[in-house]
Amino acid sequence: MTTVSTPAASPVAPAATGRSPSRVIWDRIRRDRAAKFGMVIIVLFVLIAVTAPLLTMINGWSPYDFDPTAVDKRMAGVPKGILGGISAEHWLGVEPVSGRDIFSRVVYGAQISLLISVLAMIVSVAVGTVLGLLAGYFGGWVDAGISRVMDLLMSFPSLIFMIALISVMPEGNRVLLLVAIMGGFGWPYIGRIVRGQAITIKHREYVDAARVGGAMGASILFREMLPNLTAPILVYATLAIPTNIGTEAALSFLGVGVRPPTASWGQMIQESMLWYEVDPMYFLVPGTCLFLTVLAFTLFGDALRDAIDPKGSR
Amino acid sequence: MIIYLSKRLAAAAGILLVICAVTFVIFYVVPSDPALQACGKTCTPERVAEVRAQMGLDRPIWEQFGVYVVGIFAGRTLAAGVECGFPCFGFSYQNSLPVWDLLVDRLGTSVSLAIGAAVLWLIVGLTVGVISALRQGTTLDRSLMIATLTSASLPVYFVAMLLLLFVVRVTEILPYPAYVELAEDPMAWASNLILPWVTLAALYAAMYARLSRAQMIETMAEPYIRTARAKGLPERTVVVKHGMRAAMTPIVTIFGMDLGGLLAGAMITETVFGLPGIGRLAYDGIVKSDQPVILGTTLLAAFFIVLANLAVDLVYAVIDPRVRYS
């Protein structure tokens, strides 16, 4: 006698039910090796940034401590020993001339780079989302005005402008200034995406239903429409971080980033320019950190986009 | 079409005017006094005031702005009796040379850098992208995509320094770049620009490879590709004539904007390699708060970006007959 298989024994049914959309996305990311690699590196650098004071305590060198004994005065200040002065004392070597510990500076540099990039991302996503929603939902002159500003900002030669703006601003908190300027030039990119999405969903039934039900502007925008735009905003936010890390480093590299002696990766690379021939480790260490972080965020952002929209072309 | 074109031209001119005004305002509030710089530290206050009047800096901002904009088209005569012919962008505070001459002088370098790099990144990027798309999912595809991601994540100056270290210092294949005019010695021009070209192209080639791969995969899944195959066309024709032509349309847009942005100078690349281009000029201008130079370079950069946008939209109609203007 053959038994009829019960629904519970069917291999498909249980897997297909009971998974929330975010769970589905999470499972997809976990299966993606590149995404996992990216995630591990991101977590590593975030941990390094957060525990920077602890790490430098173990290491015994603050990022501002000079160590004249680690550099060779007779050789114009080249670090003593091989590979830029790597030793048990200085784990990643020292800077030429000053003898400051590169490990400690890279660790604190991670703090600055990540802090500025994430804050600037938050600024551009917040401004871009609100203005994009307003432009898309209201249309008319609101849309025309916001869209013109976006077009204008996007045709600015932004790097020249950022440098120029930072260099004319009065002395103050450089970190906040960088965040404001990078966020200020970054928002049109997310604003455009949100505007486009808002236009396509504003006539959906659930939005109409909310309107008929007496919901007012702000409530429709943020309660009804915003939750449906989470996916593209999330993807954009993740991919904006590596861009911001690169921009912050480029600005520091061009001499308008955070002020010395505060350490940032771009600034370390700028200072190492003169030494690339005699002390390549000086630029290889911060350069590699920069490269790995940007790569990790890009891998993770790409995987997130694929997971949210598996039909996407990449 | 003519209405569309004139509308677009008017909008472009408007954007340039606004950018000019914004730049003007930003540098009007600069704390440093150009008159004091031009005059020197030993100047008496009376002399500084005199110089300021000569430079026209004592007049209200809107008047200075008006004089500047009119001067671009009509030329102007400075208070000291110096003639500044069309197109007048003023004189550099650093060396008193006309900004327009400085721009023209530096443009060759930036254009050489941008065009050479563009040729390189288009060839490499599109080849990698198309091969990857046609071999989608294979080990070759995966390795190429890992390579492009790596290349796209490397900051420009880091690539430049790696190249300088390994190509110039360790293996001594190429000398340290020193810019030579094309007309002077084409061979020296090219060999000195190889490193800057590779540096710039590394980033863009990676982006173009990823983009063209995605486009190509999408296009090759279209029904008309199946039709083309079914009617017995050779695979080569299917890929090149039917696949690539359609897949390249969005790339034209991006290419126009990228090239437009680079024509007015790749600031970081020029700075690292010490190339005398517009980007370097802008950077030096900012460092020395040389307002006329900053204004000139910013306007030129914006001009190229706006022009590229316009060109892209027009070219679109030629490549993609579905696009119609209204």
Any domain includes B324 = no
Among A75-79, A206-210, A231-235, B17-21, the range scoring the smallest mean pLDDT is: A75-79
**In Å, what is the CA distance from B25 to each residue of A161, A169, B181, B286?**
12, 13, 36, 15
| Same structural domain, B53 and B173 | no
**Which amino acid appears at position A284 of this protein?**
L
Any domain includes B95 = no
Cα Rg of chain A, angstroms: 25
Q: What integer pLDDT is reported at residue B144 of this predicted model? A: 93
Using DSSP's 3-state secondary structure scheme, residue B21 falls into helix
Surface of A (260-279) touching B: CB under 8 A: 266, 269-270, 272-273, 276-277
Residues in contact with A269: Cβ distance below 8 Å, sequence separation at least 6, in sequence order = A249, A253, A283, A286, A287, A290, B155, B157, B158, B161
Residue of A nearest to B261 (CA): A157
Domain of B203 in residue numbering reads as: 100-319
Residues in contact with B24: Cβ distance below 8 Å, sequence separation at least 6, in sequence order = B61, B64, B65, B68, B295
Of B88, B111, B128, the position where a domain reaches its end is B88
Any domain includes B325 = no
What percent of chain A shows pLDDT beyond 70? Answer: 92
Nearest to A155 among B15, B210, B267 (CB): B15
CA distance B190 to B143: 30
- CB of A185 within 8 Å of a chain B CB? The answer is no
| Same structural domain, B81 and B104 | no
Does residue A313 surpass a pLDDT of 50? no
Any domain includes B162 = yes
Question: In chain B, which residues have their Cβ closer than 8 Å to the Cβ of A155?
Answer: 15, 19, 302, 305-306, 309
Residue of B nearest to A268 (CA): B158
Question: In chain B, which residues have their Cβ closer than 8 Å to the Cβ of A168?
Answer: 26-27, 29-31, 289
| Same structural domain, B146 and B246 | yes
For residue A254, the distance in angstroms to the closest alpha carbon of chain B comes to 8
Q: What is the DSSP letter of B242?
A: I
In this structure, what CATH number is given to the domain that contains residue B110?
1.10.3720.10
Best of A32, A167, A168 to disrupt the B interface (most B CBs within 10 Å) is: A168
| Same structural domain, B255 and B313 | yes
- Its ipTM equals 0.82
Q: What integer pLDDT is reported at residue B38 of this predicted model? A: 63
Any domain includes B94 = no
| Same structural domain, B166 and B242 | yes
For residue A65, the distance in angstroms to the closest alpha carbon of chain B comes to 26
| Same structural domain, B255 and B136 | yes
Q: What integer pLDDT is reported at residue A17 of this predicted model? A: 61
Nearest to A160 among B27, B218, B298 (CB): B298
For the segment B160-205, what is each residue's pLDDT rounded down to a tens digit? 989 988 888 888 888 777 777 777 778 888 888 899 999 999 989 9
Structure-token match 């307003």, residue found: A134
Any domain includes B142 = yes
Q: Tell me whether residue A46 is exposed, middle or buried, using C-beta atoms within 10 angstroms of its C-beta: 0 to 12, 13 to 18, 19 or more.
A: middle
Best of B286, B288, B289, B295 to disrupt the A interface (most A CBs within 10 Å) is: B286
Of B56, B88, B120, the position where a domain reaches its end is B88
For the segment B2-24, what is each residue's pLDDT rounded down to a tens digit? 787 888 888 888 888 888 888 77
- Strand-pairing partners, residue B14, are none
Number of domains in chain B: 2
| Same structural domain, B283 and B204 | yes
Residues in contact with B235: Cβ distance below 8 Å, sequence separation at least 6, in sequence order = B229
- CB of A164 within 8 Å of a chain B CB? The answer is yes
